[in-house]
Amino acid sequence: MRPRRKSALLVLSAAALLLPSCSRKSDPRLEGSLRQERNGWIFVHLEGSPSRIGFQHGYLLAEEIADAQKVIALVLEHDTKRPWSFFRDAAQKVFWPKIGEEYRQELAGIAEGVRARGVGLDVWDITALNNFLEFSPYYIRWWEESHGKKATGGPPTRESCSAFVATGSYTRDGRPVIGHNAWTGYMEGARWRIVFDIVPERGHRILMDGFPGLIHSADDFGMNSAGIMITETTISQFHGYDPDGIPEFVRARRAMQYSASIDEFARIMREGNNGGYANNWLVADRKTAEIASLELGLKNVTLQRTRDGYFVGANFPVNEKLAREETTFPVNDPSVSANARRKRWEQLMAEYKGRIDIESGKRFLSDHFDAFAGKEDPNERTLCGHIELSPRGLQPWQPPFAPAGAVQAKVADAAMAERMSFVAAMGHSCGRDFLAAEHLKRHPQFEWQKPFLRDLRSHPWTEFSALRAGE
């Protein structure tokens, strides 16, 4: 039987967000910045120029950034057989020249902020960290082929996340509802617990979830003050990469910050598209109640949109031509995770038509029904993913019983987006806890993760909101 959990909505207040006395007065660049922990999440408010936002980010999350860099370095070395120095070098020589001045300043500010807290990371470490989802396997495959190296046999593209967006006759009030849960390895996923409230000098205010040290959401869920609501899921078994393009993390952050319409979002994501971290993006415009799906391959890009319907994501390729030309995805195998989850999404959209709201979104992202087997069974085929329980794993991304799956979830509707807020649950939103020591005892093949694999505890749903003026 699926464990039940209590749902608690806790709205962050200004009083709850006050920093300890050691921080804001020590450097004028920290003025206006805030940090508070709530139900497994760390909420940070950042504001000002790019370098100031970066400094605040680095200073307030220095300990978490130092920890995250060690985790990602371990994952990349394990998966690609390349040391961290390889990725630092690529960050400096390959990716830095393609990053605009605004985000160069923010990345440099993060490095300066962590150094102010005694953490020995520099701007190349921070840039490499921001690009980690693109390094493996997109960049590393291209690098090996272009340098005549024997392929490492590293991992294929990640099968990360389940997501939906609906509007019109499918939702309770006829306006957009959007939801997403992040699928990662539990080692890095336990760190994917930041809520960023960012007020930049230029562009729109951002409220998004994220990872320590990253200027983009990366998993991706967020909204801006212009009314754009954004999420995505990766395209399984994708291949193709253009090293001359703009890094995905730069385009994703720019789209979150500067889009005021679906057309603008699609344009920003397409410009300089390099095929890195290829995703099916789900987008809503709360102002018009229009929603869209932007499947962003390297060769094939498909934009669909509607004011009455839904789009869902579960790592399956949508466009048949993209699937054929740019993936090795088994489109006709109903037993694979992405296809089983797609079927479950279709069932839920039909069942809940006219009733989709925040509460049903929470239920969707906590769902344990295996649509292939036709029964409740938390595993790699359920919307709330539990690869750690599966004797099949999620091949070819994760082996049997790998400590991986859904690590957190978020939902928002148009009314919440108007006030810049969303609800989020850290850990499995179904209520199950993952206990690292117990899992490693049963499955010692994952002992390499022991230095950093943490328990992933389930926490109640919590509402996060951008601070109001004067708070």
Q: Report yes or no on 272 lying in a domain.
A: yes
What was the pLDDT predicted at 418?
Answer: 98
Neighbours of 415 (CB within 10 A): 14
User: Where do the DSSP E strands lie in 225-340?
Assistant: 228-234, 279-285, 290-296, 301-306, 309-313
pLDDT given for residue 4 in this prediction = 39
Fill in the amino acid letter for 169: S
* Residue 135 within a domain: no
Provide the domain limits for residue 285.
162-465
d(CA 206, CA 192): 17
pLDDT on residue 151: 59
Question: Going by C-beta distance under 8 Å and a sequence separation of 6 or more, which residues neighbour residue 415?
Answer: 173, 175
Token pair belonging to 362: 């929470």
Question: Given this model, what pLDDT does residue 468 score?
Answer: 77
Poorest-confidence range of 10-14, 185-189, 313-317, 339-343? 10-14
Distance CA 385, CA 52 (A): 38
The answer to whether residue 306 sits within a structural domain is yes
Tell me if 205 is assigned to some domain. yes
Residue 336 lies in a domain: yes
Q: 17: which residues sit within 8 A by CB, 6+ positions away? A: 34, 35, 36, 43, 45, 467, 471
pLDDT mean across residues, the chain? 93
Domain containing 300 — which CATH number? 3.60.60.20
Half-sphere exposure (Cβ direction) of 237: Cα atoms closer than 13 Å: 19
Is residue 213 predicted with pLDDT exceeding 50? yes
- What's the whole-number mean pLDDT along residues 289-315? 98
Q: Tell me what the mean pLDDT of segment 204-214 comes to.
A: 98
Q: pLDDT tens digit string along 47-66?
A: 999 999 999 999 999 999 99
At 24, the pLDDT band (50, 70, 90 cuts) reads very low
Local confidence band at 157 (pLDDT 50, 70, 90 cut-offs)? confident
pLDDT at position 11, please?
40
pLDDT category at 152 given cuts 50, 70, 90 is low
Q: List the structure tokens of 66.
A: 């130092």
pLDDT in tens, 450-467: 999 999 999 999 999 998
Q: pLDDT category, 162, cuts 50, 70, 90? A: very high
Q: Average of pLDDT values for 294-302?
A: 98
Q: How far is CA 64 from the centre of its chain?
A: 17
How many structural domains are present in the chain?
1
Residue 196 has pLDDT above 60, yes or no: yes
Domain presence at residue 98: no
Residue-wise pLDDT for 353-377, tens only, equals 999 999 999 999 999 999 999 999 9
Residue type, 414: A
DSSP H or E segment with residue 196: strand 194-200
Comparing C-alpha atoms, which of 207, 205, 208, 209 is closest to residue 225? Answer: 205
User: Within 10 A of 3 (CB to CB), how many other CB atoms are there?
Assistant: 11
From residue 45, alpha-carbon distances to 196, 206, 468 in Å are 6, 10, 11
Is the separation of the CB atoms in 381 and 370 below 8 Å?
A: yes
- pLDDT above 80 (res 154): no
- For 7-23, what is the mean pLDDT? 38
pLDDT of 64: 98
